[in-house]
Structure 1
Amino acid sequence: MNTATNTIPTITLNDGTSMPQLGYGVFQVPDEQTTTAVSTALETGYRSIDTAAIYGNESGVGRALAASGLPRGELFVTTKLWLADLGRETTRGGLAASLDKLGLDHVDLYLIHWPGTDTEAYLESWQVLEELRAEGLTRSIGVSNFLPEQLERVIGLDGTVPAVNQVELHPFLQNRETAAVNRAHGIATEAWSPLAQGAVLDDPAVLAAAAAHGVGAAQVILRWHLQQGNVVIPKSVTASRMASNLELFGFDLDTAQVAALDALERDGRTGPFPGTFNG
């Protein structure tokens, strides 16, 4: 096993499942490149892989998982239900299709990818996710891109609390209100676009911290995420960057450096606003 694997911390989700705090995301990786990319990530030491039905690359992920020879118990696989499959009658088929492409009999985390604007549809899907977890088709269930009021509606159904809320989060968009609600309910905050699609890499505060520690700008930002308690899933198809994104455990940002990155909040959203997005 790559020694990097042993350095990745895990968090315990509110349902008792253990999840690596640092994983590998495959958003915007074409399916024909995904097998090689995920295989390289696994060889580098990643064990948590994040994909989604809408990414169109679950088959590529599945091929890499099968070829790795790694025991299923060492892997943590996340996928997501797309908006078109929201609702009681279509949610179960959404997961079935994903499992077929992944070549798995279960995933470790299944998320509602976006709430959309049809409240009834995502609430129905949440109730089906509860059934899928009870049947062993997913170990944990959660949501993605849910605002505080949407989280409260889900929890208000029968008290089942999502294990994870995956949201856009980086120094330019810290999603503080949502993160606070997540913490209040014991929901893990998982950051997508953790580097703001590279926009934050050239910020002077980031570069100053990188120089002080002799590391790269991306490493500083990812370290900031870990110290915030976020789960993070950086994406790169370059082997050297995959490796450097794992090299986060030989340094700590000091209080002043964390405060400097905290001060970068500017509502710098790179993706859609969850309250109005319908795909």
Structure 2
Amino acid sequence: MDLWIPITLFAAFCQNLRSALQKHLKGRLGTTGATFVRFGYGFPFALLYVGVLHWGFGMALPVPGSDFAVAAVLGGLAQIGATFLLVHLFSLRNFAVGTAYSKTEPVQAALFGVLLLGEHVDLAAGTAIAVGVIGVIFISMARVPLTRRAVLASLAGRPALIGLASAALFGASAAFYRAASLALEGPGYLMQAAYALAAVTLFQTVTMALWMALREPDQLKASLVHWRQSVWVGLAGVAGSAGWFTAMTLQQVAYVRALAQVELVFTLAFSWFVFRERINGRELAGCVLIVAAILGLLWGRTG
């Protein structure tokens, strides 16, 4: 099995865990505060990861250049916006459906991979990605009556538009992060990914802290008050991000983000077992399509 596959599965699970923890925090912190803890409490863990690789395993630190800096900053800003929109979705729809709207990301990530990195996706992988997105649409419309008016409202309503915007920003950030990591030539994929993650998370922490200090000081204070819960969001977030950065250093963005759709299966499991939300037939059908798409993608990459 290619190494990027288990790394991506690990990252998807950690991201789902982080989203579940953020949902609990949103009621206490608000959208901005819940977004900030993802970065602010994650940075120390990202720095620790770099330190372990450098001093514990003797991996050399890379020397960043301007290409790295530009890609890291653009990716960091895109992820802040995407995370803010995703957290905001939790107040508009339930946990599973709110995440579902953002999972059109694989298609958009593939597009950004083509535009920014010159990557391409073969027909089999493109078909698998499309099947997965159809599965996502099934899940996102699972709570909507199947009438023409209701379907159109679901696809063009405010939650859908916010979810699509979140997906676009996540797709862009993924492409920029791969570009940043690849710009750090030499140290090896683990250190490249870890260093890029630490640099981006530091930038995001400083940017959001300054913005909140000026515009929403109460949210900054609240994020410090609730540090016991926030630190777990940071840890889960960095663990997932370390997986994403590493996987995207090893493999094209489109394939990594397509496999990451398995997160939605994890989401439904969390909804059922943790939040006690009911899962209906359309959500199950969507899961089947997503799993089929992932199996098709993996068969094409490892067969």
Pick the structure with more strand per residue: 1
Taking structure 2 as the reference length, the TM-score comes to 0.24
Pick the structure with more helix per residue: 2
Higher relative contact order (CA 8 A, sep 6+): 2
